[in-house]
Structure 1
């Protein structure tokens, strides 16, 4: 296996490689592996499979960090189920190949799937035309009909009033307190639908430019849930605000409605979901800063992300509060 040329350390996944070759069958072997950048919960590898006809490419997700490895059985089983569910829909997802959610055969809990075309784009070039495509894709996900027995778990909130980490230095402490007070109420009533739950530009693949720009894949379905469409819109909106500035984040909900999506009619209810998501990034959104910088966004310093997050809260109150 040409590991050094592929830029991927071969140590610690000998059993995983053997498992992959067993799943592909027919004398196939892993000829090369390349570590994919931009994630922080798992290691992603692009694998070239050869020795059995024309070379082909697969993607391997492995949970290595202890926290995520402990929860891998639920996460990877959920993703495998979702890939099977969405395989017959218009949502562009990878084809499920195999899963070893408990590391019974692999070095680490792992999921094997097909390689989708396209690439992640988090740069400023053509950021504006990507927004309506993201909105339309979210509408498509939320419209997927899921039989009751196949529905994923109910959504989990990623922030709570007593767990929000407030910034040490801020000129607007009252803004943060107001935001925390918003999520002290009971969650608003909602009409549930299928949620990606971690839908943002880092989990969407694009090809083309200009009039040929299009989405070719949506990845990372380990957090898939059953809940309010507002929450998916909120998560992508926060990410866009952090990546491209608050106006970009505020446009997504408008584009989502224009594409035929439905959000909470009461502004206070929509505000709840938006603030609930934004507070999960407090105090400085560094949990997304590091993977985005790996993708070339060196401008996204902790200070800039913290400022944009605070400005996002301010604008949410101006518009919906």
Structure 2
């Protein structure tokens, strides 16, 4: 299917085909599920060097269109960096961060075989182990000082946290907010994905043959504490699979060779700083998970899991 009749596609298609080798063209366009901030399409290419597939990311929502120049330029730089490492990721093919030639700011990258897996099945533990090992490998990348991305930015603050209106655990939320009412702890910085969670990792194979085929969505890449990436993935796992899975991720990360702060109050700060950014509910970020089949993740389920996760964090680190 060619989407020539869809508003906002014609100019972008012309730009993409201009970046292809002579004689190549887009033969089929397939919307991809699982995205929230941007529109994702798979482009099947035919011609002398084909068949092969590309992935097109376009920022179409007004908020993200405004921030697209920085986001897409950042992702382009990081994808070039990753080509020199062992971290599996798509390769950059073209970028129009300003939307100069495209209908929307866009980036084209290679299509990597694999799929997002967020199911509540027997492979959860195997996926957790692979997620942890892959994140440790990302954090181990040696980035020259001149090539480092922006410093990390918090996604919430004490005065911005919205406590769920229906909660019966107001004291728990107030305690969590009070815990992040301090200066950020001193830390050793490394390359952060900054949005590392199961929705941004592709898998292939099953059982012992399961493997990570790619880590995607590098638009938020930053320079900061490893604890923050671990915190983000831990929160997502707690929402997807329950607090115990969320709590297990940091241990798996360290077992894989990753390094976290040894000072529990500091680690708790990073974990809560991330978890509180999901308040008052996580329904918004769960929308892509619903598209991937996790319709069991209702607002009440997500709120209960987030609150139980906060309890577990205090029990272990406070």
Q: TM-score, normalised by structure 2?
A: 0.98
1:67-88 C-alpha deviation (Å, 9 max, x unpaired): 0000000000000000000111
SS in 2 for 1:60: strand
Which residue among 272, 279, 282 is the counterpart of 1:282? 279
Q: Is the 8 A contact 1:289 1:302 kept in 2?
A: no
Which residue among 10, 13, 16 is the counterpart of 1:17? 13
Aligned to 1:108: 104
Aligned to 1:37: 33
Within a 5 Å distance, the mapping from 1:122-141 to structure 2 comes to 122-125=118-121, 126-141=123-138
1:131-190 C-alpha deviation (Å, 9 max, x unpaired): 111111011000000011110000000010011111001111000000000111100000
* Distance in 2 of aligned mates of 1:36 and 1:53: 23
Deviation at 1:9, TM superposition (A): 7.0
Deviation at 1:54, TM superposition (A): 2.7
Contiguous gaps of at least 5 residues in structure 2: none
Aligned to 2:2: 3
RMSD in angstroms over aligned alpha carbons? 1.1
SS in 2 for 1:293: helix
Aligned to 1:264: 261
* Distance in 1 of aligned mates of 2:8 and 2:218: 25
Within a 5 Å distance, the mapping from 1:183-262 to structure 2 comes to 183-262=180-259
1:226-266 C-alpha deviation (Å, 9 max, x unpaired): 00000000000000000000000000000011111111111
SS in 2 for 1:305: helix
Deviation at 1:272, TM superposition (A): 0.1
Change in 2 beyond 3 A, CA 1:82/1:300: same
Deviation at 1:52, TM superposition (A): 2.8
Deviation at 1:16, TM superposition (A): 0.3
Q: TM-score, normalised by structure 1?
A: 0.97
- Residues 1:302 and 2:299 aligned together: yes
Runs of 4+ in 1 over 2 A off after TM superposition: 8-11, 51-54
Aligned to 1:60: 56
Contiguous gaps of at least 5 residues in structure 1: none
